[in-house]
Amino acid sequence: MKVAVLSEYISDENRVSITPEIAEKFIKFGCSVFVEQNAGGAASFSDDAYKKIGAKVDERDSVISGATIIFTVRPPDPCHLSAATENALLVGIMEPYGETERIAKYFDLGLQPIAMDLLPRTSRAQTMDVLSSQSNLTGYRAVLDAAANFHRIFPMMTTAAGSVPPARVFVMGVGVAGLQAIATAKRLGAKVSATDVRPEVKEQIISLNAQPIYFEDKSTAQRLLSEHIREQDIIITTAFSAGKRAPRLVTDSDLASMKPGSVVVDLACSYGGNVEGSSPGKILSKYGIKIIGLHNGASLLSKDASTFYARNMFQFFSHYWNKDSKSFILLDDDISNAIRLENPNDAKIRKKIHA
């Protein structure tokens, strides 16, 4: 069975879907692995590293021709896939929302797109969960970007020249990225608080020795939240889900109320933004505040991000690998039903993707 690994064509994408470590595991399963030239270059995995473990490195068309599975991180342009073989699976983050035309083109090519970004958040699927593995790194990166752009240090420091207080970090949205942001900011010595719309997260915030910020009385909640924001040095916002517009958590008047030199990092900048005025991939200054639009943070940590991503891919593959027949069979189960995209040429499906 032939497994293909695409080179990412999106310019700011530095990750690769399959690392040499995982390519070797496929080969041990009896698969042949074909990797597009320089696919791992931006993640520091050389073509030689793939060749060394027995993978073939070649140009795109011969890599994908005859492959049963084509792995990618981000969705490829369908016009790059004309050499693919009928019924091949195209596995990666497919970003299907609002992209009916692109998805339909995969079907026109005879491909079956598998959207790992639609994986159910169940414990059985946890080891294949690309959103978690990548969000975790983004949460870490957000804190480092904040620290690198902050004009003070994070920990309290006492020296012969006196002491400075710890930086105050507020994390808004405590999913996978938010939890890692809290943990990273704590490790750097900051005084950390956090909030989420889900009340059950309170316990997780406390378990990381951070302060949960929840206001029960709805009539005063917004005012008290704005008062809390005003006192912060660093704010990290992480509230978004693909296909939906991100909620506005920090307004322009919140920014105006903060101390000059404060830093706000918006992880939702590519989804409409949690922070008013943030822009993907840019560091803007307003009211003396730096507003960082952290776009594709995992790609900035491309080696570790690819390592985790490739392991997620291998878990997915192993889940459906039949050892006896040495074949990959995408059985009908809750996981495959969630990630297998349907042809948007079907009017009903078109409606679902647009919703």
Residue 197 touches ligand NAD, criterion: CB under 6 A: yes
How far apart are alpha carbons 337 and 26 in whole angstroms?
A: 24
Residue 212 touches ligand NAD, criterion: CB under 6 A: no
- Least separation in angstroms between residue 117's CB and ligand NAD is 10
DSSP assignment of 218-282, as one string?
HHHHHHHHHHHHHT-SEEEE----TTSPPPP-B-HHHHHHSPTT-EEEETTGGGT-SBTT--TT-
Q: Which of 243, 247, 277, 280 binds ligand NAD (CB under 6 A)?
A: 247
How far apart are alpha carbons 174 and 201 in whole angstroms?
A: 7
Query: Of 55, 65, 71, whose CA–CA distance to 314 is shortest?
Result: 71
- Least separation in angstroms between residue 160's CB and ligand NAD is 42
Site string for ligand NAD, 33-72 (x = CB under 6 A): ----------------------------------------
Q: Which of 14, 135, 180, 307 binds ligand NAD (CB under 6 A)?
A: 135
- Least separation in angstroms between residue 188's CB and ligand NAD is 21
Query: Of 213, 240, 237, whose CA–CA distance to 291 is shortest?
Result: 237
Q: Which of 39, 81, 249, 289 binds ligand NAD (CB under 6 A)?
A: 249
Applying CB under 6 A, the span of 47-55, 110-118, 129-137, 227-235 interacting with ligand NAD comes to 129-137
Residue 132 touches ligand NAD, criterion: CB under 6 A: yes
- Least separation in angstroms between residue 345's CB and ligand NAD is 30
Q: Which of 213, 239, 301, 305 binds ligand NAD (CB under 6 A)?
A: 239
- Least separation in angstroms between residue 127's CB and ligand NAD is 9
Is the Cβ of residue 197 or residue 224 nearer to ligand NAD in the bound state? 197
Structure tokens at 173: 């949205």
Cα 190 to its chain centre, rounded Å, is 25
Q: Are 270 and 295 in contact (CB under 8 A)?
A: yes
Q: Give the three-class secondary structure for 145.
A: helix
- Least separation in angstroms between residue 294's CB and ligand NAD is 13
| Whole-angstrom Cα Rg for the chain | 22
Q: Are 17 and 309 in contact (CB under 8 A)?
A: yes
Residue 128 touches ligand NAD, criterion: CB under 6 A: no
Residues with Cβ within 8 Å of residue 126, at least 6 apart in sequence: 132
Q: Are 149 and 283 in contact (CB under 8 A)?
A: yes
Q: What residues numbered 166-195 form the site for ligand NAD, per CB under 6 A? A: 172-178, 195
Interface with ligand NAD (CB under 6 A)? 121-123, 125-126, 129, 131-132, 135, 172-178, 195-198, 238-239, 241, 247, 249
